[in-house]
Chain A
């Protein structure tokens, strides 16, 4: 090849120029055929990689799935929805950085995302300042009370109390609590203690474990010495799954039953041994094995959208989907994407038929009233033990009233 072949001749340049003008113009024609207006911008902040990627990947797909469903129906208010998603890589620094980009540079109309409570607390003030509407869609410890923020995940009053009820009725009165050593674990452990004592039970001990602990032998010995009738776990993350393995390996699983507030939200049922997972009782707002048309439709629809036979579809995915759909309904009701108008629409008590059942936005707490379910794993499937209709987020509702005090911007922690 000679050097001349690399040079752009005038004729080539003209051809290239014509081609690129055509390409650039094409989307404009397409868009005009659909709508004259610019798309609605939705920001998404979720962890696709890093330690939380396991939870984040399904939430990301659920967000994309919800947006694609809305766009297939022609978008909202005649405008397409454009998703601006960032991978926050399980890093709080990136959360704040991308949150500022989305709110200030991209000026998105709504933000959906955040997985851990610490990430939510890092970005919530940013959106309060810029008055960007924010949806937090993870099962969490409850208490967020913020005019600008809507939380769709379940909270302890909707789930932990049922778990404790079941345990004190079927297993005994004496419990031992093991929990992750950060705000989620501490607050959830407080709720566990409250519910256990309310049911006439006692707490033999509480252990908080940092997220990097991998050896649980001393904890398991202490539990054995305390000899509780059941164990409640709010352990979080990949390292803590070792607790369930070691619990099984020491033969304790056959002796003392375990209830958990986090177990099974990731791919535990597929990745871990059946002997380890079976029988760990949980309570969430959604299970992929729910026998309702809405749940089955969501699971098969999302599986088709992802393009694989994914089994690990939990409340994390459906609450994310609910967050997008509640927002969409509010936008249609408000006839605008302006934050103030959408917030009043969300506060009008709107509800949607979600995969897990009817979900209503509570005006006072900006949390959802939704059904929850009690279930335990049996041979890599969830066996539903009980259904609780229309659960009110009483933990947050105890102290939060955004109708009376719309300027609240805080997270209440339980006081007993």
Chain B
């Protein structure tokens, strides 16, 4: 009985992790149609921000939760101005450009910090589920993923910025004729997506370790989840993360993590085969 409690906890943590690593990409790829292959590197930059801040004695919670999204959003802003803004509507070209950005960022960080693994201490200890130990930090991840999804929902639904953003993504020309400046909206949306990726990187740094090539471990899963989710960014991310996280954790526990990963991919293939536009391409179409 207790072990099923632990597994349930692991499943929730797995889903929360997937939500975190996917949400930034969902904004950039799902809304803006930019194939952002540098997504993993944005996370890596967030993790480095957290590690550097902790090393300089910044309060651990500020270093993990506040600084990474701000810093990475600013970097995203600069990259959007310098590279991405010339490529809107050219999906394949964005892939090439962001691939280049990703390699460049890995090289840059390697030459600044060296090819070593930095470590960020875990700010909370463990707790027990019956006789089994579980990581208290997982609760932080779960809370953060709920905040990220909920915050994004409120931003889109309840604020003027959200309305303008959705309008611009749907039809930039029409939005422009209503007096909105689409380039500014694109710029801030890209920064928002980058910031969310940075948020995930900072949060995951204590459990994964911080190294220049860490992004590669996440980018594929993020893309699969976004594609599985479909056009509705928030609902899609939540549903696809829930489905894939559940399958992955259960199979991992019953067999091995390798088969867990295989099961996740098989589930994704079956899903895309039957629902080419993702879950929200068929269901919950009017959701966000």
> Contact residues of A with B, CB < 8 Å?
49-51, 53-54, 57, 181, 207-210, 212-219, 221-222, 224-225, 238-239, 241-242, 245-246, 248-252, 255, 266-267, 271-273, 275-276
B residues 136-158 with Cβ under 8 Å of A?
A: 136-138
B residues 67-126 with Cβ under 8 Å of A?
A: 110, 115-119, 121-122, 125-126
Which of B127-135, B181-189, B232-240, B273-281 contacts the other chain? B127-135
Docked Cα-Cα span, A215 to B21, in Å, equals: 13
Docked Cα-Cα span, A246 to B252, in Å, equals: 16
Q: Which of B17, B110, B132 contacts A215 (CB 8 A)?
A: B17
Q: Which of A208, A242, A245 contacts B258 (CB 8 A)?
A: A208
Question: How many residue pairs between the two chains, A and B, have CB atoms under 8 Å in the bound complex?
Answer: 120
Q: Is the CB of A239 within 8 A of B217?
A: yes
Q: Is the CB of B206 within 8 A of A208?
A: no
Say yes or no for B168: interface residue by CB 8 A criterion.
Answer: no
Q: Which of A210, A222, A250, A266 contacts B135 (CB 8 A)?
A: A250
Q: Could you name 7 residue pairs across A and B whose Cβ atoms are closer than 8 Å?
A: A51-B213, A210-B257, A217-B10, A221-B7, A245-B207, A266-B117, A271-B117
Further 9 A-B residue pairs, CB within 8 A, beyond A51-B213, A214-B207: A50-B115, A218-B10, A218-B249, A221-B132, A221-B253, A241-B117, A251-B125, A251-B128, A266-B117
Q: Interface 1/0s, chain B 173-210, versus A by CB < 8 A?
A: 00000000000000000000000000000000011110
Chain A positions within 8 Å of B256 at CB level? 207-209
By DSSP majority rule, is chain B's interface helix, strand, loop, or mixed?
Answer: helix
Docked Cα-Cα span, A230 to B116, in Å, equals: 29
Shortest CB–CB separation between residue A344 and chain B, in angstroms? 40
Q: Is the CB of A238 within 8 A of B211?
A: yes
Chain A positions within 8 Å of B125 at CB level? 249, 251
Q: Is the CB of A272 within 8 A of B119?
A: yes
Docked Cα-Cα span, A272 to B118, in Å, equals: 7
Q: Is the CB of B217 within 8 A of A245?
A: no
Chain B positions within 8 Å of A219 at CB level? 252, 257
Chain B positions within 8 Å of A238 at CB level? 117, 209, 211, 213-214
Chain A positions within 8 Å of B110 at CB level? 49
Chain A positions within 8 Å of B10 at CB level? 217-218, 221
Q: Which 4 pairs, one residue from A and one from B, show the smallest C-beta to C-beta distance?
A: A251-B126, A218-B252, A53-B115, A249-B135
Chain A positions within 8 Å of B119 at CB level? 245, 271-273, 276
Chain B positions within 8 Å of A54 at CB level? 115-117
Chain B positions within 8 Å of A208 at CB level? 256, 258
B residues 1-49 with Cβ under 8 Å of A?
A: 3, 6-7, 10, 13-14, 17
Say yes or no for B242: interface residue by CB 8 A criterion.
Answer: no
Q: Is the CB of B133 within 8 A of A250?
A: yes
Shortest CB–CB separation between residue A360 and chain B, in angstroms? 34
Q: Is the CB of A209 within 8 A of B257?
A: yes
